[in-house]
Amino acid sequence: PCNLTGWWENDLGSKMQVFKVGNDGSFSGEYHTAVSSAKRPIQPSPLIGSQHLDEDGQCTFGFTVNWKKFSDSTAVFVGQCFNGDEGKEVLHTSWLLREKVDSEPDDWRATR
């Protein structure tokens, strides 16, 4: 079965550390992004999530990252863990990023 605990790295060099997955699938950790449009220096950011624990091990999961240490944005990720070649676990994710805007008329450009 897929175990999210530990370090993960994506194609852009961002890294995620999941501290421990509980028996109910809940987890926390830190996200170390390698990319940002924020003006302040990038810092590790807290994440909290939940993993659906399937018997076949190819589970779905989701987590939220609060970039509060250097940005006014929040991101959510959803994905699935696959047992890839030679038993290596691989995560496939999609994400949404919500940036703070100054007014409701600017809402249209706040999410990517």
Q: What is the CATH number of the domain that holds 56?
A: 2.40.128.30
* φ and ψ of 49, to 5 deg: -155, -175
- The stretch 20-47 carries a mean pLDDT of 90
The string of DSSP codes covering 64-104 is EEE-TTT-SEEEEEEEEEEE-GGG-EEEEEEEEEEE--SSG
- The stretch 49-76 carries a mean pLDDT of 89
pLDDT at 57: 63
Q: Is residue 95 part of a domain?
A: yes
pTM of the prediction?
0.87
Report the share of the chain in percent with pLDDT over 90: 68
**Size (the chain), residues:** 112
- The residue segments making up the domain with residue 100 are 6-35+42-109
What's the domain count of the chain? Answer: 1
**5 vs 87, residue with greater confidence:** 5
**111 vs 53, residue with greater confidence:** 111
